[in-house]
Amino acid sequence: MAIEAYAEKNCSIAKPLSFLGERWTVLILRDLFLGRRRFDEFQASLGVATNVLSRRLTTLTEEGIVERRRYSEHPERFEYVLTEKGRDLQPVLLALLAWGDKYTAEKGPPLEVVHGDHAFHAVQICSVCGEPVDSHNVHSRPGPGANSEQRRANGRRAPEWLAR
């Protein structure tokens, strides 16, 4: 109960987690990015319980991440495809993938992401100056949308990676 309450709390990391944090959701998204789109395809690929799959797809639809689209009238059959909002989650998946490949893929990556004709990993750069971003040259501060509590809590504070 408590985490749903927390997700309300004006935090741009907590908000997407309100649905991404539910089990299976990210794996369903992975399947969507791989081109899967039908209920039974997800079920066969993941082995997820059908009631849970059903609920997750409903939530993703409600959140506007996927569109539930009828592809057959008689009988009624549906497929699920990513919306623009859903495709915008790709960086999250690519970041997870890059980390997983680095730390958990002893035999090399099970899946390669391909840009043009070359396999790659996603690297993050600064939207303003274009320099590479890493944990040592980034810190944070309250933004324009911060409430007074956040201004207090996240005001000047040395990030841990600067404090040794």
Please name the residue that has the structure tokens 């749903």: 4
Contact partner, 8, from its own copies, DNA, none, Cβ < 5-8 Å per class: none
In the numeric block, which tokens belong to residue 158? 């040395």
Contact partner, 54, from its own copies, DNA, none, Cβ < 5-8 Å per class: DNA
In DSSP terms, 66 is beta-bridged to: 82
Residue from the set 20, 43, 55, 78 that interacts with its own copies by CB under 8 A:
20
- 68: number of CA atoms within 13 Å, CB side? 14
59 binds its own copies (CB under 8 A): no
Closest C-alpha to 86, from 69, 111, 102, 71:
69
19 binds its own copies (CB under 8 A): no
Closer CB to DNA, 79 or 101, in the complex: 79
**What is the spatial distance between Cα 158 and Cα 163, in angstroms, rounded to a whole number?**
6
Residue from the set 8, 40, 88, 149 that interacts with DNA by CB under 7 A:
40
111 binds its own copies (CB under 8 A): yes
Residue from the set 19, 30, 39, 55 that interacts with its own copies by CB under 8 A:
30
Contact partner, 126, from DNA, its own copies, none, Cβ < 5-8 Å per class: its own copies
**What is the spatial distance between Cα 84 and Cα 62, in angstroms, rounded to a whole number?**
14
Number of Cβ within 10 Å of residue 80's Cβ equals 22
Phi, psi at 49, each rounded to 5°: -60, 140
2 binds DNA (CB under 7 A): yes
The maximal CA–CA distance of the chain, rounded, in angstroms, is: 64
- Sole window of 76-84, 95-103, 106-114, 130-138 interacting with DNA (rule: CB under 7 A): 76-84
Question: Which residues bind to DNA, rule: CB under 7 A?
Answer: 1-4, 22-24, 38-41, 47-52, 54-55, 57, 68, 74-75, 77-79
